[in-house]
Structure 1
């Protein structure tokens, strides 16, 4: 015979409504009572019917994560696995489950979000990227649906978002290369319709400008967050008569792809070209040579985004619209001085 909420209440010495409030994470229930009830639930093997609960409370205890590109590309990049780890950890501590969705293009992404919202499959959504004129953000705002953006919106300044100061971070890494004697520095971005690409490009150009170095279009390359894109960039660099002596890459995976492609062409890093990336993921330490990188606190970004969303879902209020996670330069062998 199945264990019921009444059985749990009887053994715990509380009312069924108290057990229900414990299941719903009601803040009015003390931690002592909550721990006691949950222990009894575990002992009796009681599992609440979350579907029935959602019909009554209009909540699901689910958080949706919108991945910004097809999954086969996404999980090549450790940024996404690390930020999802942070989100899941914080969500689990608040007794929320996580649903992932994505699309192969902007329209499919918007349709996936609409299904989550209209079907009430989640209580809130975390977006892992922001684009110019982002239709998904506009839709969520129109529906007044709880969401948090990882990144920066160019359209709306009042969004709850978690981000780095990407302009300053790119400025800092470019400045470090300039201080090492480099004057011909290239920048390999992701798609320029992404805010993160635009902001890091702005930081790069700002550092060059302040150092009195001419900003040259031939040293700016738009790619994607894949190693295949890096191979194409290297082919374009090798065609230049006056090649760069250093490269700032939008991401560690891109930096790794550049190093691998240069190596295949018989060039060595940093002897022939210094390279620095972003994210300080595991690949930056495992690469030969290890990649100089900007640590942007990916895991902390994930936990902060989940915490902000849960607070918004619960109506606890969240005063800070934009949360900035500090960055740190981690200098390694891939970025040497220019002789």
Structure 2
């Protein structure tokens, strides 16, 4: 295990100098500071959050890490915008500042994490984490406070605030089953459902509901994974090309954006919703109510997910909750006109 003494020896400085760099002390020569930081990056050394908090006062700054591309379009994103609004409201209430972290955290974890430490963030909120990533293990080893937002990690050591996505998958599928549907398709993101915990869990809930009702699972009832050259509507073309005698009578779209796109696509090709094909989604977007015939969906409290995530990481920094604190928030079925009984 790499220690502060190893960093000092490699950088040819004293332990006190390394400690000053870790705690951002101003009385360190810039060239020496950079040499020490480079040694920390080269050796994958991340100071323990506990040790850092003992040696300095808290800065009341929480870092927010987004996946690639979201910082550019977050204002138009139906998931990140309300969730971030909740984060901002709680931060204001708790007198916390937020630092939006660059998306190269994903591609260059050692350098990016060292940069976060150097900027003296007290904790992190992680958005859109893929199931397989390099950042979570680094954070766990370091002891740095962090919460995964809208993502219940399979690793029980990871603090998370989310909804129960397995239950959401079951709820949506069971609603269709209760309306007589037995040929139920599952519409994933264009990249599939396996990359993120939330999407995989919604798929698991879909499978569980089918099994509970004695309905067989069909691989061809899951929308195909698309390439970067494909248009997103090809997910729905897949179902439209099937024999009408075996084509799904209902589609469970794991996010409302897909459901709204699917309704429009089917209507443009002469199908009636819900007479020919029923739809159910997840989120309850503002446009759901005005999308003819009105999308039946499962509402999730995105603003509350954001605000509670901020409160939890704030408590974590102060030692008031454990680093493995996990919360699931309630959801609600919103019935409109996109599902018919068969």
Shorter-chain TM range is: 0.7 to 0.9
* Cα separation, partners in 2 of 1:238 and 1:184, compared to 1, 3 Å: same
The DSSP-based 3-state class of the residue aligned with 1:172 is helix
Alignment counterpart, residue 299 of structure 2, candidates 295, 300, 320 = 295
Q: Quick one: distance in 1 between partners of 2:60 and 2:224?
A: 40
User: Are the aligned partners of 2:279 and 2:295 in contact in 1 as well (CA < 8 Å)?
Assistant: yes
* Cα separation, partners in 2 of 1:126 and 1:236, compared to 1, 3 Å: same
When the two chains are superposed, the root-mean-square deviation of aligned CA atoms in Å is: 2.6
User: Are the aligned partners of 1:230 and 1:258 in contact in 2 as well (CA < 8 Å)?
Assistant: no
The DSSP-based 3-state class of the residue aligned with 1:107 is coil
| Match of residue 168 from structure 2 | 169
What does 1:1-339 align with in structure 2 at a 5 Å threshold? Answer: 57=56, 59-71=58-70, 72=72, 74-101=74-101, 103=103, 106-107=106-107, 110=109, 113-114=112-113, 116-150=115-149, 151-154=151-154, 156-190=155-189, 191=192, 192-221=194-223, 230-241=232-243, 242-318=246-322, 321-338=325-342
- C-alpha displacement at 1:103, in angstroms? 3.0
- C-alpha displacement at 1:189, in angstroms? 1.8
The DSSP-based 3-state class of the residue aligned with 1:159 is coil
* Cα separation, partners in 2 of 1:74 and 1:229, compared to 1, 3 Å: farther
* Cα separation, partners in 2 of 1:276 and 1:194, compared to 1, 3 Å: same
User: Are the aligned partners of 1:277 and 1:294 in contact in 2 as well (CA < 8 Å)?
Assistant: yes
Using structure 1 for the length normalisation, give the TM-score.
0.75
Q: Quick one: distance in 1 between partners of 2:299 and 2:84?
A: 17
Q: Quick one: distance in 2 between partners of 1:165 and 1:270?
A: 27
- C-alpha displacement at 1:98, in angstroms? 1.9
The DSSP-based 3-state class of the residue aligned with 1:131 is coil
Higher mean C-alpha deviation, range 90-99 or range 178-187:
90-99
The DSSP-based 3-state class of the residue aligned with 2:252 is strand
User: Are the aligned partners of 1:66 and 1:113 in contact in 2 as well (CA < 8 Å)?
Assistant: no
User: Are the aligned partners of 2:127 and 2:148 in contact in 1 as well (CA < 8 Å)?
Assistant: yes
- C-alpha displacement at 1:73, in angstroms? 5.7
Q: Quick one: distance in 2 between partners of 1:222 and 1:77?
A: 23
- C-alpha displacement at 1:132, in angstroms? 2.4
- C-alpha displacement at 1:160, in angstroms? 1.5
User: Are the aligned partners of 1:161 and 1:305 in contact in 2 as well (CA < 8 Å)?
Assistant: yes
* Cα separation, partners in 2 of 1:116 and 1:86, compared to 1, 3 Å: farther
User: Are the aligned partners of 1:279 and 1:295 in contact in 2 as well (CA < 8 Å)?
Assistant: yes
User: Are the aligned partners of 1:173 and 1:276 in contact in 2 as well (CA < 8 Å)?
Assistant: yes
Q: Quick one: distance in 2 between partners of 1:287 and 1:112?
A: 46
Deviations 1:85-129 (A, max 9, x none): 111100111111222235389426x46852552322522111123
Higher mean C-alpha deviation, range 304-313 or range 186-195:
186-195
Q: Quick one: distance in 1 between partners of 2:270 and 2:167?
A: 34
| Match of residue 28 from structure 2 | none
Gaps of 5+ in 1: 1-53
Q: Quick one: distance in 1 between partners of 2:262 and 2:330?
A: 26
Q: Quick one: distance in 1 between partners of 2:231 and 2:207?
A: 22
- C-alpha displacement at 1:58, in angstroms? 5.0
Gaps of 5+ in 2: 1-52
Using structure 2 for the length normalisation, give the TM-score.
0.75
Q: Quick one: distance in 2 between partners of 1:106 and 1:237?
A: 35
Q: Quick one: distance in 2 between partners of 1:104 and 1:207?
A: 39
Q: Quick one: distance in 1 between partners of 2:111 and 2:248?
A: 42
* Cα separation, partners in 2 of 1:306 and 1:105, compared to 1, 3 Å: closer
Higher mean C-alpha deviation, range 98-107 or range 197-206:
98-107
User: Are the aligned partners of 1:70 and 1:104 in contact in 2 as well (CA < 8 Å)?
Assistant: no
Higher mean C-alpha deviation, range 68-77 or range 324-333:
68-77
Aligned length in residues? 280
